[in-house]
Amino acid sequence: MKQKSVFLFGFYFLTASFMIGQNNCSLITNVTISVPESTQQVMQGQVLRMLNSTFTAVNLNEWSHIAWVKTTTNGGKIYKNGTLVFSGDFQDVAYSWGRLDLGAEFYTSYGNYFKGFIDEVRISNIERTAEDFLSHYSSGEPFITDDNTIGLWHFDDEAGTIANAQVGPNAEITNGLWTEGRFGSCVYYNGLNTVTSANLEIPTSNVTVEFWIKPSDFPVVPADFRPVSLYGVNTTSFILSSVNETVNYTWSTGDLGSSISIDPSTQDFVWVTNGSCNDTIWFNSQASTIIDTVINYIDVYDTLYTNINLYDTTTTYITVTDTLIINLNPTGFNPLTYANTILMYPNPASDQLTINYGDFASLAGYSLKIFNSIGQEIHSANISQQQEVLQLATWGGAGTYEVVIYNAQGVPVETRAIVLE
């Protein structure tokens, strides 16, 4: 029985248990693919005294438009980017608010300092609607004033310790840093001692508080951030907490969970997402390629190599990468190094394929050829330039193509494969 030796190389994110032969004769009808059961840190938002208002709302290092409403009947609503994310009730207690605090909450002294950016704060003596919030969010413009605006700060002063108000009293800034904001300038809050305050009588019902916010760090558990507060009797604040949340996965088949079993002979690929990145596995008659699409750079060196022994199969390799990496001319040094590396990306490709020959001068006399699945030569080039971009419209369609590198004597020194979608 002939033994083949192949390499599996890739990143930790996705693991697969399968072997795909060169000749697809439907002997393999079940493949199990697993992703790690793990947790991720998220920013959980709520409004103090709005009952059960916890929701995952604000993303790290992203601007979000947040609005909360308190009605005449103690009803409460929270909106993010023009979308209602919570509807409930405030505690049935007496309220009185005489100051707006940004960057911290006051209780005998300031605490729960926020780390990040705040821009465009508006307070209104009316219950603004979902249509109002969505219209503002979609406009890409700063807040505007109207008859119901009682406080509006654009934070476009760019310097000094005073934020001039378009409506209402000016705000005093302590230990703030002026920087680029969502619109124009804004104030950066350092999470230690930055506060902005404006004395303003704020309605305790039929009121809307809106602002743009971009956290730059997670609160240290068990503390939390209080970036916007209405100070007085029963102070009410917008709170950001850091929590660990189980990662939720969705598969292209519609399945949920950390693993899936599929028949690779009935479909070309399967993908999984955790909401922030996608991983795709392609199945075909030549090889199986696992693509980690969260990689957005070319130089991939942090790689785990594992030998796999396959028996009675003509599988040539299983590849985990967005970029086909071809190492040429191993040196005699220990640890092993290479004289040059050729990068081909993206892999799989659809419209065009970029080939970066690295230090092409070290490959004088070398050439590269590409063949289709029936052995026809579809591309040939002497390696004499840094980079070339191949247009794929005339290649003959989707499938796996063989890449062969020849040395100066015309001897093949490396054979790999790329996938055309």
Does residue 236 sit in the same domain as residue 327?
no
Check if the beta carbon of residue 322 is closer than 8 Å to that of residue 347: yes
Q: Are residues 163 and 61 in the same domain?
A: yes
- Same-domain pairing of 229 and 354: no
| Residues linked to residue 260 through DSSP beta bridges, in sequence order | 33
Is residue 14 predicted with pLDDT exceeding 80? no
For residues 24-37, give the mean pLDDT.
78
Q: Is residue 403 in some structural domain?
A: yes
pLDDT digits (tens, 9 = 90+) for 139-160: 999 999 999 999 999 999 999 9
**pLDDT of amino acid 327:** 63
| pLDDT at residue 347 in the model | 83
Alpha-carbon torsion angle 42, 43, 47, 48, nearest 10: 90
For residue range 170-196, list pLDDT tens digits in order.
Answer: 999 999 999 999 999 999 999 999 999
Mean pLDDT score, 300-304? 38
Model pTM score:
0.57
59 and 208 assigned to the same domain: yes
Q: What CATH number should be reported for the domain holding residue 150?
A: 2.60.120
pLDDT band per the 50, 70, 90 thresholds, residue 57: confident
Both 91 and 215 in a single domain? yes
How many Å apart are CA 417 and CA 268, to the nearest integer? 17
Does pLDDT of 13 surpass 60? no
How many separate helices (H) and strands (E) can be counted in the chain?
A: 1, 37
Interacting residues of 251 by C-beta distance below 8 A, sequence separation 6+:
260, 270, 271, 272
Give the model confidence (pLDDT) of 376-386 as tens digits.
Answer: 889 999 998 88
Could you tell me if residue 12 is inside a domain?
A: no
End residue of a domain, out of 201, 223, 245: 245
Same domain, 358 and 240: no
pLDDT in tens, 215-245: 999 998 889 999 999 999 999 999 999 988 8
What is the predicted pLDDT for the residue at 384?
86
Domain that holds residue 116: 40-245
